[in-house]
Structure 1
Amino acid sequence: MGRKRTIKRDTVLDAAEQVVMRDGAARLTLDAVACEAGISKASVLYDYKTKQALIKAVVERRLAAHATCEQEVAASFSGDPDAAIRTRIEVASHLLTEEDRAVALGLLASLAQDADLREPIARTYGERIAQVTGHSRSPRGALLAFLAIEGLMSLEWLGLHDWAPEERARIIAEIGWLVDQVPAPVSAPASVLSSSPERSTR
Structure 2
Amino acid sequence: MTREALLDAAESVLFEHGSQALTLAAVADRAGVSKGGLLYHFPTKDALVAAMVARTIEEFDALIDSYDDGSPGSYTRAHVEVTFEILGGEARTHRRWSAISAAAADPGQAEPMNEAMRRWHGRDPGEDPDPCAAQVVRLAVEGLWEVVSHVPDLYDEAQLAELRTHLLAMLEQPAPDRA
C-alpha offsets along residues 68-91 of structure 1, whole Å, 9 cap, x if unaligned? 1221122xxx24210110111112
Amino acid in structure 1 at the alignment position of 2:75: A
Which segment drifts farther, 89-98 or 29-38? 89-98
Relative to structure 1, the CA distance from residue 13 to residue 71 in structure 2 (aligned partners, 3 Å threshold; closer, same or farther) is: same
Percent same amino acid among aligned pairs? 26
C-alpha offsets along residues 108-129 of structure 1, whole Å, 9 cap, x if unaligned? 5433x31222222211111112
Scaled by the length of structure 1, what TM-score is found? 0.76
Q: Larger RCO: Structure 1 or Structure 2 (Cα < 8 Å, ≥ 6 residues apart)?
A: 2
The match for 1:127 is: 119
Whose radius of gyration is greater, 1 or 2? 1
In structure 2, distance between residues paired with 1:102 and 1:10: 19
Matched positions, count: 175
The match for 1:190 is: none
Alignment of 1:112-191 (within 5 A): 113-159=105-151, 162-179=154-171, 180-182=173-175
The answer for unaligned runs of 5 or more in structure 2 is none
In structure 1, distance between residues paired with 2:89 and 2:150: 11
The answer for unaligned runs of 5 or more in structure 1 is 1-6, 186-202
In structure 1, distance between residues paired with 2:134 and 2:98: 28
In structure 1, distance between residues paired with 2:118 and 2:94: 22
Relative to structure 1, the CA distance from residue 109 to residue 166 in structure 2 (aligned partners, 3 Å threshold; closer, same or farther) is: closer
- Residue 35 of structure 1 and its aligned partner are, at CA, apart by 1.2
Scaled by the length of structure 2, what TM-score is found? 0.85
**Aligned residues of 1:85 and 1:146 also touching (Cα < 8 A):** yes
The correspondence for 1:27, drawn from 10, 18, 21, is 21
- Residue 10 of structure 1 and its aligned partner are, at CA, apart by 0.8
The correspondence for 2:58, drawn from 50, 54, 64, is 64
